[in-house]
Structure 1
Amino acid sequence: MKITLLTVGKIKEKYLRDAIAEYSKRLSKYCKLEIVEVADEKTPDHASEVVEKSIRDKEGERLMRYIRDDDYVITLEIGGKMLDSVAFSRQLGNLGIQGQSHICFVIGGSIGLGDALLKRSNYALSFSKMTFPHQLMRVILLEQIYRSYRIMTNQPYHK
């Protein structure tokens, strides 16, 4: 299975880049992982809803360039469905059984995802009611994907 992580913005913090590299290495024995970062738009202070929508749409267009028609798209959204690790693992496993060979996880910018991307999403996922920095969510998502593969292969996953 191929998993693509589509994200807005670059990771500047070394400790987050190191964590992403570690989980990418761990995942390499379970799947083909690709991480794509697209440029973010600068959001002016006190931007109007019209300006914010325009920014979300521009970032969304950049992300959409990497999504093929047959990709299964999972967007990370505040209002998405929350799953525990076992249920998330089942979800990924079921996608493989259903013949989905490419899953794209999408993490938008700081003000969310554009309308076209939200419409293209096959599944909206949320990890918490809490708000996390988008850069940290990349690490959390990769860790949960790794944990899912450990669960699917009946390996200990509480380490």
Structure 2
Amino acid sequence: MKLHFWTIGKAHEPYVKEGVELFTKRINNYFPSEWSIIAPPKNAASLSEIELKKKEGEIILNNLQKDDYLVLLDERGKQMSSETFASFIQSRANESVKNVIFLIGGAYGVSDDIMKRANYKWGVSQLVFPHQLVRLILAEQVYRACSIIRNEKYHHS
């Protein structure tokens, strides 16, 4: 199983980049993983919020394969403990899912089409974070889940 981290926006800010790279390198000890930073449409500033979400949604849908398991990070999604999240990842591996895509949407969220396509909507927190920080939190939590799966000492419950 391969883990993909997709985010709409600009490159990692320097204060996030080092942490994301560190945790991604660690995740690769468990599952192959990679980040894809999807540039917003070129005319994003001139689009309405609805049009922008629709265009971003089209880009995402064009890059998804039929059997990709899409996990949408959404503040209204279901929240999980770290242990439950580890079980969630292990379950996808047990189901022989080839690709799990973790998607961080654009500044205004995602289109209804993406909401419908998502296999799971995950609420990392009820708090709202800047997208850059969500990247770091996501990378750390996936690494934590991997360490829990292997019963390693990174996570202390």
Q: If the length of structure 2 is used for normalisation, what is the TM-score?
A: 0.92
Question: Aligned residue for 2:144?
Answer: 147
Task: Tell me whether 1:19 sits opposite 2:16 in the alignment.
Answer: no
Matched letter for residue 4 of structure 1: H
Residues 8-47 of structure 1 aligned to structure 2 (within 5 Å): 8-41=8-41, 42-43=44-45
Q: Which amino acid aligns with 2:137?
A: I
SS of the residue 2:63 aligns to: coil
How far the C-alpha of 1:12 sits from its partner, in A, is: 4.8
CA distance in 2, matches of 1:68, 1:148: 25
Tell whether the 8 Å contact from 1:57 to 1:114 is kept in structure 2 after alignment. Answer: yes
Tell me the CA shift for residue 87 of structure 1. Answer: 0.3
Q: How far apart are the structure 1 equivalents of 2:66 and 2:108? A: 26
Partner of 2:66: 69
Gapped regions of structure 1 (runs ≥ 5): none
User: Counterpart of 1:94?
Assistant: 91
8 Å Cα contact 1:74-1:104 kept in structure 2: yes
Deviations 1:57-99 (A, max 9, x none): 1111112222110111100011100001000000110111112
Shift of 1:125: 0.2
- Corresponding residue number in structure 1 for 2:108: 111
Describe the superposition over 1:3-42 as per-residue Cα deviations: whole angstroms up to 9, x where unpaired.
1111101235212111111111111111111211111254
Partners of 2:79 and 2:125 within 8 A in 1: yes
Deviation at 1:101, TM superposition (A): 2.1
- Deviation, 1:100, is 1.0
Alpha-carbon contact 2:148-2:155 (below 8 Å) kept: no
Match of 1:4 in 2: 4
Quote the Cα distance in structure 2 between the aligned partners of 1:32 and 1:65: 22
* Percent identical: 34
Q: Which runs of 4+ in 1 moved over 3 A?
A: 41-44
Equivalent residue, structure 1, for 2:153: 156
Query: Is the Cα–Cα contact under 8 Å of residues 30 and 149 in structure 1 kept in the other structure?
Result: yes
Question: 1:91 is matched by which residue type in structure 2?
Answer: F
Range 62-71 or range 34-43, more displaced:
34-43
- 1:136 is paired with a residue of what secondary structure? helix
**Following the alignment from structure 1 to structure 2, what is the Cα–Cα distance between the partners of residues 62 and 133?**
22
